[in-house]
Structures are given as C-alpha cells and as structure tokens.
C-alpha cells in the first residue's frame, strides 16, 4: 500500500455501516495489543480552543525535551498534520505502512464480527500505534467530536482531562442545549482523574463539569485568570499568577489569551505531578507556539487574516477580536459555510461588523452556494458580493480593500485551508 492507496482505503471505509459507541475501537485496539494503555495522555475536549491548547501544550513539552505526540482533528493544510511527534508530521510512507497493518486487523475483525471500524477509529488506532512505537513520553490528544463516545476516549485515566470552552455546535450529534453538550464533553472525565477547566464557562456548563467531577471523584482545577491584558495585531500580552514576567504570545485574537491560560494551567498541573518543567519553560513554550487558521495572518500587505470560526461562540470571539484590533480600518469578509452548521446566525454575526462581504462556495457537497451566503449576509451588510472560487474572492477583496483595509477569511476551515494554499507560495498576484 502506498500513500494514495491508503487515502483511497480511508475514503472507501465510509461505505461501511458506522456504529456508535466505543465497542468497535476497543475491539480494534485489543487486536493491536492495546498500545494506548502504555502511553501517558493529556486529553483535550471542548467546542472551541482545543486545537490552540493542544498546540501550546505539545509545543511546550517538546521544547522541554520530552518526546511528545500530538493528535488533532481536523487538519487545515495537509492530512499528515493529524499525527505528529515533536511537531514533525507523520510521513506519507509511514501513513501507508501503519494503515496497511491496521487494515489487516480491521479486515479480520470484520470477518469475525461483521463490524468494520469507522474512518476515525482507524485513524485513532494508527495514531496510538504510531505514538507507542515512536516511544512518546506524552501524547496530547484532541477529541474528535463530543467526548463520551469519541474514539479517543478508549484511553484509560489521563494525566489531565482538559475541558476547553463549551458552546453550541454539532447539536445533531451532541444535543440541543449547552447542558446536553457539556455532558457529552465531560465524558472524558474518568475515575480519580484530574480535570483542568477553561475558566470562562457558562454557569450551566460549569455546573455540569462540577457534577461530573464529583461523580468520578475527579479533582477539578480552574485555569489561572489572566490579568492586565493587551491585545495587539502581532501578539497578545497578559499576566498570570506564578510567573515572574508578562506573557507575550504569538497567537493573535483576544480569545487566545484564555486558551493560553488554560494551556498554562495544564502544564502547571503536569509540573505538580512531577513532570520536569520549569515555570520559565512553560512560559517560553506558550509564547512561541504557533497554530494555523485561528486569527492567523496569511499576508501583511494587504493584511489577510484567516479564522476558521464556524459556530456561534467562535464567531462571537472572532467579531470581538476584529472590532478590538481593527476598529477604524475598512473590513472585507470572505465567507463560506456548510449548510449543516448554524450558518444564518454565524454569517449575520460576522457580516454585521464588516463593510463588504464576499460570499463564496467551498467546493464540497455540504457547502452553501455563494448566492445563499450572500443572501444571508445582505440583511446586515449593505455591500455584499459573490465569487465562484476562493481565488476569485481573494482577488476581488484585494481590489476593494484599499491601502489600509483588512481582509478576513472565515466561516469554515475548508475555506481557510484553500486560502492558505493560494497565498503561502507567494505567487498570488491577481
């Protein structure tokens, strides 16, 4: 099996009937020798901020000299981002080799039980086997969807279960209320574990987290509170108790301050548990971490910022950052979304703070048409355009933004990914 064949195999797995619960992943992992039971995890759940927190935690551990695995979902740029060790992505040939081994176990499992693992179960199994065979000291593990029934939840009690900001998203799978969604996310809290919680949760969410911790006899630790916050276009500056100097993180967008505080809380807890981390190493790691697609500057002249916010709470945070950091500039929004998201609320929120909106169709079946995006935005923005492709949208935005305008690409990580591919090779001259 080569890399292309491996991708074709994963795509074909979607043809098999999917089954909810952890029984399939448990059975597959058993057949692979349960490598996940020989690893130490930091398990991260939540609606927003998971990826940023995972990036900061894993980067810090790697900088401190620990062999650190990182598992994320979804990817922004290339498939291989999903699995990395010390920020080096799994190679194409390794993907093919590991999937070939896992396919043998999955085929045998199907022959004996009539049940085939899902695509995400296969990927998760590959990650666990890879991290074990790479002899990772620690693995920072991002939940794919929810928590309780997510394939990553096959692990035993982690060193820290991390609950990031919880909001409304994936209601079809997780429930229609914040309480229901929080209960699913809190499914990663295990008996006698330690939970690090994002500080600024809604009251009903906090109540669910506290109840889950009492039920599991888990220790609950709130992330430290950030103080003296200054958000800039190039960095965020703030203070946390226990550190001798202010933080200056590269990740922009004011919401990253809360994410950084949560990551610091996790790392301080690992230090308390005996991991050889100094407070200076924690600070340096968080300050130098980078992450794609979250208020990321893709180009400086004109300034183009990508933010893959695709649920209400994420869009609200995006809007707050835009208004705070670019209060007087002309704002142009390129936006595309999936029809299975709460797209009307998200589009209207983002469009309402921008001078010009360009609706674009993302070239996949679940995406809204450019016309549908524009029609939704037109109720709150007077100047709404459409473009058939992201490339056309970027060219139009550059024509319209003027010398001090700012272009934002938002609504879907698929659109963010496309914009990154167009701009990163520096050949975009339209």
pLDDT in tens, 301-333: 999 999 999 889 999 999 999 999 999 999 999
Residue that wins the pLDDT comparison between 189 and 426: 189
Question: What's residue 200's pLDDT?
Answer: 87
Question: What's residue 430's pLDDT?
Answer: 45
Strand 227-231 to strand 236-239: parallel, antiparallel, or no bridges (unpaired)? Answer: antiparallel
Nearest to 194 by CA among 168, 165, 220, 173: 220
Question: What's residue 18's pLDDT?
Answer: 58
Query: Using 50, 70 and 90 to split pLDDT, how confident is the model at 363?
Result: confident
Q: Per-residue pLDDT for 16 more than 60?
A: no
- 296-424 carries CATH number 3.90.190.20: yes
Question: What's residue 429's pLDDT?
Answer: 56
Answer yes or no: are the C-beta atoms of 189 and 212 closer than 8 Å.
Answer: yes
Question: What's residue 171's pLDDT?
Answer: 60
Q: Which distant-in-sequence residues (6+ apart) come within 8 Å of 260 by Cβ? A: 52, 56, 226, 236, 238, 247, 249, 251, 286
Interatomic CA distance for residues 407 and 290, integer angstroms: 21
Question: What's residue 394's pLDDT?
Answer: 96
Question: What's residue 19's pLDDT?
Answer: 58
Strand partners, 408: 305, 333
Q: Per-residue pLDDT for 169 more than 70?
A: no
What average pLDDT does this structure show over 42-61?
96
What average pLDDT does this structure show over 209-232?
97
Query: Using 50, 70 and 90 to split pLDDT, how confident is the model at 425?
Result: low
Strand partners, 385: 358
Question: What's residue 15's pLDDT?
Answer: 56
**Exposed (0-12), middle (13-18) or buried (19+): which is 345, by Cβ within 10 Å?**
middle
Q: Is 142 helix (H, G, I), strand (E, B) or coil?
A: strand
Q: Per-residue pLDDT for 14 more than 80?
A: no
Residue that wins the pLDDT comparison between 21 and 408: 408
Question: What's residue 358's pLDDT?
Answer: 98
Question: What's residue 403's pLDDT?
Answer: 85
Interatomic CA distance for residues 194 and 216, integer angstroms: 10
Interatomic CA distance for residues 59 and 66, integer angstroms: 10
**According to CATH, where is 3.40.1190.10 located in the chain?**
3-288
Structure tokens at 382: 């007077």
What average pLDDT does this structure show over 331-347?
93
What average pLDDT does this structure show over 163-188?
84
Question: What's residue 365's pLDDT?
Answer: 83
- 3-288 carries CATH number 3.40.1190.10: yes
What average pLDDT does this structure show over 1-19?
83
**According to CATH, where is 3.90.190.20 located in the chain?**
296-424
Query: Using 50, 70 and 90 to split pLDDT, how confident is the model at 91?
Result: very high
Q: What is the pLDDT of residues 229-281, one digit of tens each?
A: 999 999 999 999 999 999 999 999 999 999 999 999 999 999 999 999 999 99
What average pLDDT does this structure show over 155-177?
84
Interatomic CA distance for residues 5 and 3, integer angstroms: 5
Question: What percent of the chain stands above pLDDT 90?
Answer: 87
What average pLDDT does this structure show over 25-38?
98
Average pLDDT, whole number, for the chain? 94
């Amino acid at each position: 099996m080569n890399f292309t064949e491996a991708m074709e195999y994963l795509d074909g797995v979607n043809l098999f009937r999917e089954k909810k619960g952890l029984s399939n992943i448990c059975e597959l992992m058993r057949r692979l020798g349960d490598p996940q039971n020989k690893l130490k995890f930091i398990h991260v759940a939540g609606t927003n901020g998971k990826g940023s927190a995972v990036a900061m935690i894993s980067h810090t551990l790697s900088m401190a000299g620990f062999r650190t695995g990182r598992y994320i979902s979804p990817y922004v740029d290339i498939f291989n981002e999903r699995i990395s060790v010390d920020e080096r992505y799994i190679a194409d040939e390794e993907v093919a080799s590991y999937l070939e081994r896992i396919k043998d176990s999955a085929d045998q499992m199907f022959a004996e039980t009539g049940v085939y693992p899902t695509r995400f179960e296969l990927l998760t199994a590959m990650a666990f086997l890879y991290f074990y065979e790479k002899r990772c000291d620690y693995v920072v593990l991002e939940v794919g969807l929810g928590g309780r029934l997510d394939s990553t939840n096959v692990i035993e009690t982690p060193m820290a279960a991390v609950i990031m900001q919880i909001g409304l998203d994936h209601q079809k799978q997780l429930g229609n209320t914040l309480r229901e969604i929080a209960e699913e996310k809190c499914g990663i809290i295990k008996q006698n574990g330690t939970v690090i919680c994002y500080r600024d949760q809604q009251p009903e969410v906090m109540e669910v987290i506290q109840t889950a911790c009492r039920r599991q006899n888990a220790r609950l630790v709130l992330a430290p509170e950030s103080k003296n916050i200054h958000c800039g276009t190039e960095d965020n500056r703030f203070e946390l108790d226990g550190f001798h100097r202010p933080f200056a993180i590269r990740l922009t967008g004011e919401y990253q301050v809360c994410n950084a505080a949560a990551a610091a809380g996790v790392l301080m807890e690992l230090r308390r548990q005996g991991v050889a981390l100094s407070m200076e190493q924690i600070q340096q790691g968080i300050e130098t971490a980078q992450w794609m697609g979250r208020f990321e500057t893709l180009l400086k002249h004109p300034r183009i910022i990508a933010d893959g916010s695709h649920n209400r709470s994420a869009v609200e945070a995006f809007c707050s950052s835009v208004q705070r950091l670019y209060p007087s500039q002309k704002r142009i929004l390129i936006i595309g979304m999936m029809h299975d998201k709460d797209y009307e609320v998200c589009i209207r929120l983002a469009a309402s703070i921008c001078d010009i909106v360009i609706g674009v169709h993302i070239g996949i079946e679940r995406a809204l048409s450019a016309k549908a995006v524009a029609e939704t935005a037109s109720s709150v923005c007077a100047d709404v355009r459409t473009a058939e492709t992201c490339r056309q949208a970027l060219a139009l935005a550059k024509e319209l933004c003027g010398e001090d305008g700012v272009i934002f690409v938002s609504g879907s990580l698929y659109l963010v990914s496309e914009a990154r591919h167009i701009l990163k090779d520096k050949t975009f001259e339209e």
